[in-house]
């Protein structure tokens, strides 16, 4: 069998998919894979951007559409979100860059089905910090990490968010992506 008719192994298919997605998401950034060796989807791969920055990316992030380095993409946490798990009665607030869908999909898998707030084009990290400070000063403590809270603090947080007067586009989406 000649080389062009050879069936690709699973690892070869994964590496090819990764390189194709990197070309799609990294072209505008000039992202170039520094190794032509597949290290597996759970191993970081080194790339260099046209601005000279050398970074490490997870193939699984590229293959799921998360894109490249947030710094080189010029996106530093410009999306704020608040997701809710109505069955377990808790919520999570968070930030992400550019397209919120990959991050929201991750939370959906963790049972945060309801998107309560989605604010785009905002200094999301600063907003999140202010809201976490508000919750702390109101004696609401996270039950896990520093972003997961029980519903007993939800009404207060929603009122605080509304007071900021920022456009909430969550209503444009019925559920988390």
What proportions of the chain, in percent to the nearest 5, are helix, strand and coil? 40, 20, 40
pLDDT grade, residue 91 (50/70/90)? very high
**Which pairs with CB-CB distance under 8 Å and at least 24 residues apart come from 164-169?**
164/127, 166/119, 166/122, 166/127, 167/119, 167/120, 168/117, 168/118, 168/119, 169/118, 169/119, 169/120
| Tally: H helices and E strands in the chain | 5, 7
Q: Which two tokens stand for residue 164?
A: 């900021």
Residue-wise pLDDT for 8-58, tens only, equals: 888 888 888 888 877 776 666 677 888 888 888 788 888 887 778 888 888
Domain boundaries, the chain: 3-63, 79-172
Global pTM? 0.65
Beta bridge partner(s), residue 32: 48
Question: Is the model more confident about 166 or about 11?
Answer: 166
Distance CA(33)–CA(90), nearest Å, equals: 41
């Amino acid at each position: 069998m000649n080389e062009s008719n050879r069936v690709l192994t699973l690892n070869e298919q994964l590496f090819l998919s990764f390189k194709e997605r990197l070309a799609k998401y990294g072209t505008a950034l000039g992202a170039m894979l520094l190794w032509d060796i597949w290290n597996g989807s759970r191993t970081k791969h080194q790339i260099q951007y046209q601005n000279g920055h050398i970074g490490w990316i997870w193939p699984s992030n590229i293959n799921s559409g998360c894109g490249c380095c947030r710094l080189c993409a010029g996106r530093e946490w410009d999306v704020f979100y608040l997701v809710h798990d109505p069955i377990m009665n808790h919520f999570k607030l968070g930030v992400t860059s550019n397209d919120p869908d990959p991050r929201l999909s991750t939370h959906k898998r963790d049972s945060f089905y309801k998107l309560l707030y989605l604010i785009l084009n905002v200094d999301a990290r600063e907003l999140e910090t202010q809201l976490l400070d508000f919750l702390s000063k109101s004696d609401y403590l996270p039950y896990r990490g520093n972003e997961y809270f029980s519903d007993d603090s939800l009404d207060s947080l929603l009122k605080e968010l509304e007071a900021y007067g920022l456009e909430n586009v969550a209503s444009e989406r019925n559920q988390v992506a």
